[in-house]
Structure 1
Amino acid sequence: MVDIATRVWNHKWKIDPIVRSLIDTDFYKLLMCQSIYRNKPDTQVTFSLINRSKHVPLAHLIDEGELREQLDHVRSLSLSRGESTWLRGNTFYGKRQMFTSDFMEWFEGLRLPAYHLERKGDQYELTFEGKWHEVMLWEIPALAILMELRGRAVLDQMGKFELQVLYARGMTRVWEKIEKLRELPDLSIADFGTRRRHSYLWQDWCVQAMREGLGDKFTGTSNCKIAMNREVEAIGTNAHELPMVYAALAPDDAALAQAPYDVLQDWQDEHEGNLRIILPDTYGTQGFLDKAPDWLAGWTGIRIDSGDPATAANVAIDWWKSRGEDPRDKRVIFSDGLDVTKIQELQAQFAGKTNISFGWGTLLTNDFRGLVPDDALAPFSLVCKAVKANGQPTVKLSDNPKKAMGPASEIARYKRVFGVGEQDEQDVVV
Structure 2
Amino acid sequence: MVDIASRVWNHKWKIDPIVRSLIDTDFYKLLMCQSVFRNKPETQVTFSLINRSKHIPLADLIDEGELREQLDHIRSLSLSRGESTWLRGNTFYGKRQMFRPDFMEWFEGLRLPPYHLERKGDQYELTFEGSWPEVMLWEIPALAVLMELRSRAVLDRMGRFELQVLYARGMTRVWEKIEALRETPDLSIADFGTRRRHSFLWQDWCVQAMQEGLGDAFTGTSNCKIAMSREVEAIGTNAHELPMVYAALAKDDAALAQAPYDVLQDWHDEHEGNLRIILPDTYGTKGFLDNAPDWLAGWTGIRVDSGDPAVAAQTAIDWWKSRGEDPSEKRVIFSDGLDVAKIKELHQQFAGKVKASFGWGTLLTNDFRGLVPDDALAPFSLVCKAVKANGSPTVKLSDNPNKAMGPQSEIDRYKRVFGVGDQAAQKVIV
Normalised-by-shorter TM-score class: over 0.9
Shift of 1:429: 1.1
User: 3-state DSSP class of the match of 2:348?
Assistant: helix
- Give the structure 2 partner of residue 214 of structure 1: 214
Aligned residues: 430
Match of 2:62, as an amino acid? I
Shift of 1:13: 2.5
User: 3-state DSSP class of the match of 1:13?
Assistant: coil
- Give the structure 1 partner of residue 351 of structure 2: 351
What CA distance in whole angstroms lies between the structure 2 residues aligned with 1:129 and 1:33?
A: 16
Aligned residue runs from structure 1 range 102-121, under 5 A: 102-121=102-121
Match of 1:251, as an amino acid? K
Match of 1:259, as an amino acid? A
User: 3-state DSSP class of the match of 2:14?
Assistant: helix
Shift of 1:10: 1.4
What CA distance in whole angstroms lies between the structure 2 residues aligned with 1:25 and 1:354?
A: 29
- Give the structure 2 partner of residue 260 of structure 1: 260
Unpaired runs of 5+ in structure 2? none
Superposed CA RMSD:
0.4
What CA distance in whole angstroms lies between the structure 2 residues aligned with 1:316 and 1:221?
A: 25
What CA distance in whole angstroms lies between the structure 2 residues aligned with 1:21 and 1:393?
A: 31
Contact (CA 8 Å) 2:7, 2:13: kept in 1 or not? Answer: no
Q: Which string of whole-angstrom CA distances, capped at 9 and with x for unpartnered residues, describes residues 207-266 of structure 1?
A: 000000000000000000000000000000000000000000000000000000000000
Q: Which string of whole-angstrom CA distances, capped at 9 and with x for unpartnered residues, describes residues 263-298 of structure 1?
A: 000000000000000000000000000000000000
What CA distance in whole angstroms lies between the structure 2 residues aligned with 1:226 and 1:210?
A: 13
Whether 1:294 and 2:294 are equivalent positions in the alignment is yes
User: 3-state DSSP class of the match of 1:130?
Assistant: strand
Q: Which segment is superposed worse, 53-62 or 5-14?
A: 5-14
Whether 1:271 and 2:263 are equivalent positions in the alignment is no
What CA distance in whole angstroms lies between the structure 1 residues aligned with 2:12 and 2:162?
A: 18
Identity of aligned residues (%): 89
Aligned residue runs from structure 1 range 59-98, under 5 A: 59-98=59-98
- Give the structure 1 partner of residue 184 of structure 2: 184
Aligned residue runs from structure 1 range 137-286, under 5 A: 137-286=137-286
Q: Which string of whole-angstrom CA distances, capped at 9 and with x for unpartnered residues, describes residues 140-179 of structure 1?
A: 0000000000000000000000000000000000000000
What CA distance in whole angstroms lies between the structure 2 residues aligned with 1:221 and 1:348?
A: 23
- Give the structure 2 partner of residue 24 of structure 1: 24
What CA distance in whole angstroms lies between the structure 2 residues aligned with 1:427 and 1:27?
A: 28
Match of 1:229, as an amino acid? S
What CA distance in whole angstroms lies between the structure 2 residues aligned with 1:195 and 1:304?
A: 18
What CA distance in whole angstroms lies between the structure 1 residues aligned with 2:254 and 2:245?
A: 16
Shift of 1:15: 1.6
What CA distance in whole angstroms lies between the structure 1 residues aligned with 2:12 and 2:103?
A: 36
Shift of 1:189: 0.0
Shift of 1:12: 3.9
Q: Which segment is superposed worse, 11-20 or 282-291?
A: 11-20
Off by >3 Å, runs of 4+ in structure 1: none
Q: Which string of whole-angstrom CA distances, capped at 9 and with x for unpartnered residues, describes residues 182-220 of structure 1?
A: 110010000000000000000000000000000000000
Contact (CA 8 Å) 2:116, 2:126: kept in 1 or not? Answer: yes
- Give the structure 2 partner of residue 51 of structure 1: 51
- Please report the TM-score for the alignment, with normalisation by the length of structure 2: 1.00
User: 3-state DSSP class of the match of 1:128?
Assistant: strand
Shift of 1:11: 3.2
